[in-house]
Amino acid sequence: MAPPAARPLARPPHVTRPPAPPIGRRSAARPSRRVPIGPPASRDARPGPAPPPPRCPATGAPAHWPPRLARCRGPAPAPVSMATPQAEGGGGGGGAKRGRRLVETGGVAGVVTSRRNGLYKGRRRSRRSRREMEGSYAAAAEAADWLRGRLGGVSPRVGLICGSGLGGLAGALEGAQSAPYGDVPHFKPASVPGHAGRVVWGLLGGVPVIVLQGRSHLYEGHGPAQVALPVRALALLGVHTLVLTNAAGSLRRPLQPGQLLLLRDHIDLPGLAGNGVLVGPNDERFGPRFPVMAAAYDPGLRRAALALAPPALRPRPGVYAGVSGPAYETPAECRLLRRLGADAVGMSTVGEAAAARHLGLRVLGLSLITNMAAGGGASDEEEEEEEEEAEGAGPGAATPSEHAAVLEAAEGGARLIRQLLVALAPLLANRDAPGEGAGP
Ligand code: HPA
């Protein structure tokens, strides 16, 4: 059988474009290889004359195939300012000026944001724009503007991000008010048990503080830029000191559940693997291309926290390993992390710390130890022996940590951490409080 006649490559409909005007060497004698707009020709039919492109009844502009006319919403409404909260709608279609501005700022979900080659790009453009928008200056500025509007003249200089089960830390605030993340432009609603997904603001020991009850994690499928976004928004709001808290698994036996690890340093495993929050074009408005991460966790604040923590927390300084999760670590991974010098492991914090240092914020990192990470935190030799013994004991012998147990342990420790934060509040608020020099 003769080979079938060559046909133009069938493009998926979403990459079809209207026929381009002749440019360069392309001429009428050499027909364009572009696939005309319209339903794809059947496999056997030779491509015939293109049917006329579907048009938006409101504007007459050509639309995509398959038709997405519903998204072509007719003439553009009046432009909105950058500061207009996304929650208020803020979208519209068409209008070259409007389109250009929205492309710069990333556009708003589900609306027509630009014209190109006379085509409305509709939702496809919006989705891409939203990805570009994640963690961008414009997104952080919109979130900060929205928060500023809600805070009514209060200017918190201290931010607090609550880890799993630690949302109760906001209970230390007097005169607290809150808003769900879903209302804050570009914040993602929380999807993890133990994270309320709320912004709370009020006074902590007389000091205005803004608290994020919940965070975005890589394991939720958020990009690193989304992890950085709330930190950037807080910085643009005026926060100069950020307290990062988390629930973590201990990698060493002397560090027991219920103890507080004051972060002296971290190992950012996603960052080392190329998935860091600062990967990509650098926006100098946030900070320099190559931020220094030595003394990322403020030594003065750490020493003060060490001195002021309730004794029941048995505080000690140490190194936190950030992993992307969501699977808890295997015993071999725990051994690896221990050999790397980590004392505790968790699935958060390191990206936020990197974003915060990029912005020049002071950072205090607090890990509440909620469990022994798999492997029990023994020395390598002991642990290998334990694993061998456990092998004969059947399933469940080496039980991984369970999220519900982690949350319960965290909620128990939150009360004590609240006391610590109240005692620390004046130091947190005073950016110029003298550090006590390099220490533990
Ligand atoms: N591993 C990772 N993240 C965690 C753990 C753990 O053991 N405990 C609380 N968060």
> What is the tens place of the pLDDT at every residue in 236-289?
999 999 999 999 999 999 999 999 999 999 999 999 999 999 999 999 999 999
pLDDT of residue 246: 95
pLDDT of residue 406: 78
pLDDT of residue 412: 73
Q: Which amino acid is at 161?
A: I
Query: Candidates 329, 367, 407, 408: which one to mutate for ligand 1, based on the most atoms within 8 Å of Cβ?
Result: 329
* 124 backbone φψ class: left, alpha, beta (φ>0; ψ -120 to 50): alpha
Q: Which amino acid is at 100?
A: R
Ligand 1 lined by 333 (C-beta under 6 Å): no
Question: For residues 373 and 361, what is the distance between their CA atoms, to the nearest angstrom?
Answer: 30
pLDDT of residue 100: 27
Nearest-atom index, ligand 1, CA of 329: 1
Distance 374 CA to ligand 1 centre (A): 9
Count Cα atoms within 13 angstroms, Cβ side, for 180.
7
Which overall architecture, per CATH, does domain 137-386+399-429 show? Answer: 3-Layer(aba) Sandwich (3.40)
pLDDT of residue 276: 96
Q: Which residues of the chain have pLDDT under 50?
A: 1-51, 53-125, 392-400, 436-438
For the chain, the distance separating the N- and C-terminal CA atoms, rounded to the nearest angstrom, is: 80
Distance 249 CA to ligand 1 centre (A): 4
Range 25-45 burial, b when 16+ CB lie within 10 A, else e: eeeeeeeeebbbbbeebeeee
Nearest-atom index, ligand 1, CA of 410: 9
Distance 325 CA to ligand 1 centre (A): 9
Look at the pTM and tell me if it is higher than 0.75.
no
pLDDT of residue 361: 97
pLDDT of residue 414: 85
Residue of 310, 143, 138, 262 lying closest to 212 (CA atoms): 143
Question: For residues 64 and 335, what is the distance between their CA atoms, to the nearest angstrom?
Answer: 54
Per-residue model confidence as pLDDT tens digits over 315-373: 999 999 999 999 999 999 999 999 999 999 999 999 999 999 999 999 999 999 999 99
Determine contact, residues 264/297, Cβ cutoff 8 Å. Answer: yes
Sorted by where each begins, the domain ranges of the chain are: 137-386+399-429
pLDDT of residue 168: 78
